[in-house]
């Protein structure tokens, strides 16, 4: 049996080790990592699975914005490769989503395999909802307690930071909120065309 507990500061190194082994050393190049640079995960939702004192799995949540609305980004979630397919990942996701749900209406986004996350209620987002540079077929959302996606085109942003605290994101698109709606719409169209979507922002 594994204990599911909140992540503690001293778990950080063991978590990095599991992430490296589960995803490989290039994991930090994933688009979703841009949304975590310089942003603290939400401690109340970040949990680990422990086998006595050993960390065997991790899940984290981050604040993001959908246009100007607050939302959450789930991930990474990873289980020690030697212990996968035993229900640990599923248990961590259910336990943390219960915490998120208890806090009120919320949109939870993630990038991952729809074949796995459908069981938790996640759906691939419609083409009007965009994470620039990410494969739209892997961007999924779970609407909790009546939260709903906007009817118009919208894109995901890293949660706002004071400019002085913003680390360099060389090579990546600007992902800070505060741009006007026309710029949002333009970026949504560019992202859709890049991935072959014909739907227009706002459709
Ligand atoms: C994905 C992951 C978190 C799932 O946790 P887990 O404890 O191994 O899996 P669970 O026991 O909850 O679920 C197992 C089932 O999910 C399936 N599954 C696992 N990863 C899957 C994927 N990427 N797509 C579809 N199904 C998947 C397994 O085949 C298994 O199916 P079965 O029950 O029919 O045998 C874990 O396998 C992992 O860390 N993988 C590597 C990192 C990763 O891909 N993380 C997710 C990022 S999108």
Cβ 85 under 6 angstroms from ligand 1? yes
Is residue 199 in some structural domain? no
List, run by run, the mean pLDDT of 10-residue segments along the chain (203 residues).
96 97 94 94 98 96 94 98 97 98 97 98 97 97 97 91 42 45 59 55 38
Distance 79 CA to ligand 1 centre (A): 8
Cβ 79 under 6 angstroms from ligand 1? yes
The protein residue with its alpha carbon nearest to ligand 1, atom 31, reads 85
Is residue 202 in some structural domain? no
Question: Rounded to whole angstroms, how far apart are CA atoms 31 and 54?
Answer: 29
Is residue 183 in some structural domain? yes
Cβ 200 under 6 angstroms from ligand 1? no
Looking at residue 174, its pLDDT comes to 43
CATH number assigned to the domain comprising residue 9: 3.40.630.30
Is residue 119 in some structural domain? yes
Alpha carbon dihedral 50, 55, 61, 62, in 10-degree steps, equals 150
Is residue 47 in some structural domain? yes
Which residue range is the domain that position 123 belongs to? 3-194
Is residue 87 in some structural domain? yes
Is residue 157 in some structural domain? yes
The protein residue with its alpha carbon nearest to ligand 1, atom 35, reads 85
Please state the domain count of the chain: 1
The answer to whether the CB of 73 falls within 8 A of the CB of 118 is no
Cβ 19 under 6 angstroms from ligand 1? no
Cβ 22 under 6 angstroms from ligand 1? yes
Cβ 86 under 6 angstroms from ligand 1? yes
Looking at residue 171, its pLDDT comes to 36
Is residue 108 in some structural domain? yes
What is the position in ligand 1's atom list of the atom closest to the CA of 23? 42
Looking at residue 1, its pLDDT comes to 83
Looking at residue 65, its pLDDT comes to 94
Distance 90 CA to ligand 1 centre (A): 8
């Amino acid at each position: 049996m594994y204990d599911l507990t909140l992540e503690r500061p001293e778990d950080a190194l063991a978590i990095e080790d599991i992430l490296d082994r589960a995803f490989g050393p290039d994991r930090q190049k994933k688009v979703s990592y841009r949304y975590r640079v310089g942003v603290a995960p939400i401690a109340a939702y970040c949990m680990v699975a422990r086998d006595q004192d050993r960390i065997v799995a991790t899940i984290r949540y981050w604040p993001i914005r959908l246009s100007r609305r607050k939302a959450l980004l789930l991930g990474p979630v990873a289980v020690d490769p030697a212990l996968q397919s035993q229900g640990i990942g599923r248990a961590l996701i259910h336990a943390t989503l219960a915490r998120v749900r208890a806090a009120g209406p919320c949109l939870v986004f993630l990038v991952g395999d729809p074949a796995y996350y459908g069981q938790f209620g996640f759906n691939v987002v419609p083409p009007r909802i965009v994470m620039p540079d990410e494969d739209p077929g892997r961007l999924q959302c779970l609407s909790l307690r009546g939260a709903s996606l906007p009817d118009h085109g919208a894109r995901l942003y890293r949660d706002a930071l004071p400019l002085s605290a913003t680390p360099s994101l060389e090579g990546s698109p600007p992902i800070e909120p505060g741009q006007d709606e026309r710029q949002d719409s333009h970026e949504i169209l560019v992202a859709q065309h890049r991935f072959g979507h014909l739907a227009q922002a706002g459709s």
